[in-house]
Amino acid sequence: MGGSERATFLFTDIEDSCGLWERDTAGMEVDLEKHDRVLREAVESRAGRIFRSAGDSVLARFESAADAVKAAIDAQLRLRATVWGEATPIRVRMAIHDGEAQGRAGDFYGPALNRCARILGVAYGDQILLSRSIRDSVENQLSSVTNLKPLGKVHLRGLEGPEEIYQVGHPGLKADFPPLAGLDTSPHNLPVQLTSFVGRNRDLREINKLLSASRIVTLTGPGGCGKTRLSLKLGEQVLEEFVDGVWFVELHALTNQDAVAGAVASVFSVAERTGQTIEEALAEWLQPKKALIIIDNCEHLLEGVSAFVGGMSAQCPNLKWLLTSRGPVHVHGEAIYRVPTLSVPEEDETRLASITRCAAVKLFTDRASVISSFNLTSASAPHVASICRRLDGMPLAIEVAASWTKALAPRQIAERLGKHLDLLHRASPSKLSKHETLRAAIDWSYDLLVDQERRLFRQLAVFSGGWTLEAAEQVCQLEIDPIHVLASLIDKSLVMTEEGLAGELRYRYLETIREYALERFSETGDEVDVRRRHLQYFMSFAHEAEKGMTGDAQAEWMSRIDLERGNLRAAMRSGLDLDETEPALKMAVSLWRYWYYHGQFSEGSKWLHDLLDG
């Protein structure tokens, strides 16, 4: 199928599906099957066809607008009569719109579908909404018990002109709902998003709580983790709370610390006056306003942003600020929210339903389905799960990897990710924009580091699977204490922290960032020396572990070796690569009890064999 055609489209999804999954995961697996069956039977009984489904969303095409409305009513009646599990009953919202759409490989794309999705976005569970064009088409084709209630003109975010919305009424359907959600009633300059927003409901709730309690909230995290998109979605959700609007300010292209005020002033068209600085003119303008100002990409202008926001906050008590940065901005009153990566499937998870509900997989599937005829199946799901795990659930990396479904199967993408970080350059000939690729995102962070930070960033790549502070101090050599530089890398979200044994803190790179650091590491002249120190450190570690495994602390040492297993393997590999087989052989011998207790004789034997031959 190809080319343009006119059709009617029915979009549906489950209200608060993430919450339902959280409250009753097992029950939702059963309930989702019931939901899917009801939607499929209702659509097909009215000559419709489901052409796309992802998670709890269903997209169907009809030749007749009347059939689409009747299918929606049938489905809602059956859903309301369905016996659900112990969680809150499933409530499905529906939207119907028609228009020209581009057909490709059984799927459809174009403005008509975008508008239908926007209409769905303002609906509530159990509600069926129609556009004006659908209302005009079906007005005289429905039963006498069906009515179409006008809800008024709605400004749908990101779309030109208001849409006149109607609600389908029927004796068996719920009739009373709150005003339509998400109305674009406040002024704003939020950029139109060309792709759907996937997951992050919990993050949005937590950020909203912080913003309610604090006037300044900073979203932190590595490049590509989704800070900007999250801030924009939050801005959309809270529009109605700010009578003077939500305003987005982009700092990426600025290089001067003093340019922050000018960037914000340009958004409001505030100009300097004689005898006034731009800051003073802006403060005068903003002082009575109740607004949210989102400032994006603050990391390279921390001093300027901190001074500006701190000063404005003192003078404009009704303003709230949402900042995005690789690390804290360090402005007085700042609340920090570290943006996590998306949830990924467990290593041994093979069930399609369980894999599908992970946010990272949802994102991959959503993006891949837009650019190709990709559909997640039982065969492809394990490979997609592997991709998402390999990329640590980083949204940017997942989106870029999904773009390769135009040319590669998920299995092929998963295989190549371990070999070529450059594969993550988008398979698009168009000009790359900021953060368009994972490499560009990490390059941006790396270029902002001072020399000592860059050096430690490179040297830490020698560790595999994380490291302790002691290990970093022994292996990495700097002119200053590594702890201060390490703390700075954590602040810039290049290094992540996690709890180790007995409350001891461990540090690690996201795997994608480590691959980048390894490339930088190999370009420097100190790689060999760092790898030798790494080998010596873990030879000593293995010696201590051998002694520890014969005493009362045996369980603790076994756990320590579990944590350092990647480093031990990397160190022995260095012994082979650098012709330093003696310390590596000592390490292998020291670990014999560990391999013995874990029943991993083959690995131990292979290392001993390789090192003796080396």
Read off the pLDDT of residues 86-124 as tens digits, 9 standing for 90 and up.
Answer: 656 788 999 999 988 877 777 887 888 888 988 988 888
Q: Assign 143 to helix, strand or coil.
A: coil
Q: Give pLDDT, residue 88.
A: 65
CA 221-225-231 angle, 5° bins: 80
Q: Read off φ and ψ for residue 169, nearest 5 degrees.
A: -115, 145
Q: Which helix (H) or strand (E) holds 557?
A: helix 554-577
Confidence label for 298 from pLDDT (cuts 50, 70 and 90) = very high
CA 504-506-509 angle, 5° bins: 170
* Cβ partners under 8 Å of residue 345, min gap 6: 354, 355, 358, 360, 361, 385, 388, 389
- Give me the percent of the chain exceeding a pLDDT of 90: 35
Instruction: Annotate 226-263 with b (16+ C-beta within 10 A) or e (fewer).
Output: bbbbbbbbbbbbbbeebebbbbbbebeebeeeebbbbb
Lowest mean per-residue pLDDT among 119-123, 284-288, 414-418 = 414-418
How confident is the model over 500-510, as pLDDT tens digits?
776 788 998 87
Query: Hey, what are 281's tokens?
Result: 């003119």
Q: Is 226 left (phi over 0), alpha (psi -120 to 50) or beta?
A: left
Distance separating alpha carbons of residues 21 and 39, to the nearest angstrom = 19
* Higher pLDDT pick, 249 / 3: 249
pLDDT over 60 (residue 547)? yes
**Residue in this structure with the two tokens 């979200």, named with its chain if needed:** 493
- Give me the percent of the chain exceeding a pLDDT of 70: 91
Lowest mean per-residue pLDDT among 46-55, 176-185, 340-349 = 176-185
Mean pLDDT (the chain) is: 85
* Cβ partners under 8 Å of residue 180, min gap 6: 122, 123, 151, 154, 165
* Cβ partners under 8 Å of residue 156, min gap 6: 115, 118, 119, 121, 122, 162, 163, 184
Q: With 0-12 CB in 10 A as exposed, 13-18 as middle and 19+ as buried, what is 43?
A: buried
Lowest mean per-residue pLDDT among 288-297, 382-391, 394-403 = 394-403
Q: Give pLDDT, residue 247.
A: 94
pLDDT over 60 (residue 53)? yes
Query: Hey, what are 395's tokens?
Result: 């949204």
Distance separating alpha carbons of residues 307 and 49, to the nearest angstrom = 57
Q: Give pLDDT, residue 441.
A: 61
Cβ–Cβ contacts within 10 Å for residue 159, how many?
16
Query: Beta strands of 471-531 (E only): which ranges?
Result: 496-499, 505-508
Query: Hey, what are 87's tokens?
Result: 């969680």
DSSP 378: T
CA 439-441-446 angle, 5° bins: 85
pLDDT over 80 (residue 551)? no
Confidence label for 1 from pLDDT (cuts 50, 70 and 90) = very low
The radius of gyration computed from the CA coordinates of the chain, to the nearest angstrom, equals 28
pLDDT over 80 (residue 422)? no
Q: Which helix (H) or strand (E) holds 43?
A: helix 25-45
Distance separating alpha carbons of residues 384 and 376, to the nearest angstrom = 8
Q: Which helix (H) or strand (E) holds 163?
A: strand 163-169
Q: Give pLDDT, residue 429.
A: 44
How confident is the model over 576-604, as pLDDT tens digits?
999 888 999 999 899 888 877 766 666 77
For residues 534 and 571, the answer to whether their CB atoms sit within 8 Å is yes
Distance separating alpha carbons of residues 216 and 533, to the nearest angstrom = 44
Cα-Cα-Cα-Cα dihedral sign, residues 592, 595, 599, 600: negative
Cβ–Cβ contacts within 10 Å for residue 505, how many?
11
* Higher pLDDT pick, 519 / 199: 519
Q: Read off φ and ψ for residue 558, nearest 5 degrees.
A: -60, -40
For residues 369 and 411, the answer to whether their CB atoms sit within 8 Å is no
CA 248-253-255 angle, 5° bins: 115
Mean local confidence (pLDDT), 251-269:
85
Query: Hey, what are 470's tokens?
Result: 């002691």
Distance separating alpha carbons of residues 5 and 63, to the nearest angstrom = 10
Relative to beta strand 4-14, strand 92-104 is antiparallel
Query: Hey, what are 82's tokens?
Result: 């369905």
Q: Which helix (H) or strand (E) holds 566?
A: helix 554-577
Q: Give pLDDT, residue 434.
A: 41
pLDDT over 90 (residue 213)? yes
Q: Give pLDDT, residue 598.
A: 65
Distance separating alpha carbons of residues 389 and 361, to the nearest angstrom = 10
Mean local confidence (pLDDT), 426-438:
47
For residues 202 and 230, the answer to whether their CB atoms sit within 8 Å is no
For residues 148 and 139, the answer to whether their CB atoms sit within 8 Å is yes
Query: Hey, what are 605's tokens?
Result: 């034997």
* Higher pLDDT pick, 379 / 419: 379
Q: Give pLDDT, residue 159.
A: 64
Q: With 0-12 CB in 10 A as exposed, 13-18 as middle and 19+ as buried, what is 308?
A: buried
Mean local confidence (pLDDT), 340-348:
88
Cβ–Cβ contacts within 10 Å for residue 346, how many?
11
